Chains A and B, each alone.
Chain A
Amino acid sequence: MTSVSPAPASPSPLTATALPAPAPARRQGFGGLLLAEWTKIRSVRSTLWTLIIFAVVSLGLTALFTWLTLNALNNGRGDARSSGIVTDPVGFILGTGLGLGQLAIAVLGVLVITSEYSSGAIRATLLAVPRRYPMFLAKGLVFAALVIVVGEIVAFASFFIGRSLVNGHTVTGHLHIAGHVVTVHRTITVSLSQPGVLRAVAGSGLYLTVLGLFALAIGALIRHTAGAISAVIGMVLVIFPLSGLLPSSWGAHIHAYLPTIAGQLITADKPAAGQLLSPWQGLGVFCAWTVLLLAAAMYLLQKRDA
């Protein structure tokens, strides 16, 4: 994906050496930093592109997988996996598209800080805010505000797309579950007023916001785009899920308290069997990890040479 670069820009001849004195400062302090971070995040195309990819992947895959799965069930090709759409339609709808779309949010979280390091713009930033941590706070707040708005919109849109596909759908299928053949006749009904559903949908947006900040912290610690993206995606997709294979009960405890494993509990309307944490406890654990990493990133930001 390359964009056509504009014709070589030509500057005007240099003549002036006199410069009017600037007007006295209007906005002081933290408000100016929030404004500056907003200017930064909106003025690079990667932000818009990443958010478009997030929305397209999330909504597109939600629609696609829901449709394919319903078709498979109707044609009698249902199996234990696709039965999820029958037993927990909300979990199915929120889990498919957003499950992949979340990677775009993680990438954006990394990019908002590592692109400053890779381009050298971090030095311009730190010259303007030499105390450093207010800049990092402002960046985190602006980014979180952006992700929570976009994340909630996409989460609700995913839910409504999925709902329009599954609602009123009567599934008749022979499901093969644990060696038994079960015949199912069920009309799927999904509604925000069902227990846990509104929390799961709104919680998906919250989860994405915390995930974005988690990625921002990793980006600030590692400071290299490729390294930080690999680290975050490796954790979210591979390391944390695989830790579920750890043996015995301490393994289950470790798994349950891992950042995104705990965080994703808020996105499920129904608790899984043997779930150790409640949805809000899970989100709390994810927040705690993220705050810890942000604090470490901020400490190193203060200490390290820029």
Chain B
Amino acid sequence: MIEAEDLTKRYGDKLAVDHLSFKVEPGRVTGFLGPNGAGKSTTMRLVLGLDRPNAGSATIDGRPYVKLAQPLRKVGALLEAKAMHPGRSARNHLLFLAQTQGLPSRRVDEVLDLVGLRGVARQRVRGYSLGMSQRVGIAAAMLGNPSVLLLDEPVNGLDPEGILWIRNLMKHLASEQRTIFVSSHLMNEMAVTADHLIVIGRGKLIADCSTQEFIERSSEKSVLVRSPDASVLADLIAAEGGKAIPQDPAEGRAAALSVTGLDAPRIGELAAANRIVLHELTPRLASLEEAFLELTAGSVEYGADAPGVRQEAAAGTTSPGSSQ
């Protein structure tokens, strides 16, 4: 189990992680979700003892990472994929890591087999693609057969086959009662991978709940209704306490309404009772990506109107979440 308690990290006058507290339980994949610059990587670095927090603490099974005697046997981590000496072979990279933990060199071959790099492991990593470097990182994380895994954006640079493989690997590892903590800025990726979500924005906790709950809570349910008598239906829906918003009319089709506050069966009954013809009645969930953007709006770092605007914002990389 990973536990963060009031974790705070400041870089200059910028608060990267802001009094963050959460727990990551074993036996499930916990997604760590937030827009770019939300503090995900910093949080992971604090948990792993690479950066020193200004306040608060992080523990793994009750102990700070720096107190672990052979940490790779307890915790595996994948941070940036290219964090290797380009002139060293993947095998030697893994070999020196194994030696620090008293692991035999046979173990290096085992993890190389796991990630399918045995055949190229003696080549220098300079020539590796991003996806291959990512696999070396995963091999390094699995060296000590750890019960806790932290993966920072592991699908970055992977092809579809690789993405599917890593999803299955994470689920498989979670089923072995390991603790899996995986960060991403892509809501859709997390929706199919994670059982539980910890969502942060600008270093602050936004949500800590199951993925299902998060999706339900944050997707506004609406119903698309198409009818030749849309304006009459809109008044009836309003009278029932619902809200109907006219949609852009499609060429040669009946006018459409987007209805919230009433579910599809109720709208159908209402139309039948008033003898209104319906051409379409479709319940819709807001897309996860939209829900995520809505939830983290205002917490997007580097937004054009965020305090402490940086040069990226001035250069035009504004985020959709920043409009208010």
Contact = CB atoms under 8 A, between A and B. Distances in A.
A64 to B, nearest CB: 31
Contacts of B132: 9, 11
B70 interface: yes
Contacts of A182: none
B111 A128 contact: no
A14 B123 contact: no
B15 to A, nearest CB: 15
A131 B131 CA distance: 31
B83 A19 contact: no
Contacts of A120: 80, 82-84
A130 B99 contact: no
A27 interface: yes
A28 B144 CA distance: 14
Contacts of A35: 99
For this complex, into which size category does the number of interface residues on chain A fall? 35 or more
Contact of A12 (B93, B118, B128): B118
For this complex, into which size category does the number of interface residues on chain B fall? 35 or more
Contacts of A115: 85
A16 B113 contact: yes
B73 interface: yes
A23 B100 contact: no
A124 B93 contact: yes
B45 to A, nearest CB: 8
A20 B145 CA distance: 8
Interface in A18-63: 18-23, 25-29, 32-33, 35-37, 39-40, 43-46
Q: Is the interface of A mostly helix, strand, loop or mixed?
A: loop
Contacts of A11: 115-117, 119-120, 131-132, 135
A120 B136 CA distance: 14
A72 interface: no
B158 to A, nearest CB: 9
Interface stretch (B47-55, B216-224, B285-293, B302-310): B47-55
Interface of B: 45, 48-52, 65-66, 68, 70-73, 77, 79-80, 82-89, 92-93, 95-97, 99-104, 106-107, 110-111, 113-120, 123-124, 126-129, 131-132, 135, 140, 142-145, 161-162, 165, 168-169, 172
Contacts of A20: 110
Query: Which 7 A-B residue pairings sit nearest by Cβ, starting from the closest?
Result: A120-B83, A25-B102, A12-B116, A9-B120, A43-B92, A14-B165, A36-B99
A24 to B, nearest CB: 9
Contacts of A12: 116-119
A23 B103 contact: yes
B50 A123 contact: yes
A269 B233 CA distance: 106
A303 B52 contact: yes
Contact of A128 (B71, B82, B92, B107): B71
Contact of B95 (A8, A17, A39, A123): A39
Contacts of A44: 85, 87-88
A5 B123 CA distance: 10
A170 B71 CA distance: 67
A18 B93 CA distance: 22
23 contacts: A10-B120, A11-B116, A11-B119, A12-B119, A14-B135, A14-B161, A21-B145, A23-B103, A23-B107, A28-B102, A32-B100, A32-B101, A32-B102, A36-B97, A119-B82, A119-B84, A123-B50, A123-B80, A124-B140, A129-B100, A130-B49, A130-B65, A306-B50
Given A44-B88, A127-B50, A22 B97 contact: no
A22 B88 contact: no
A16 B71 contact: no
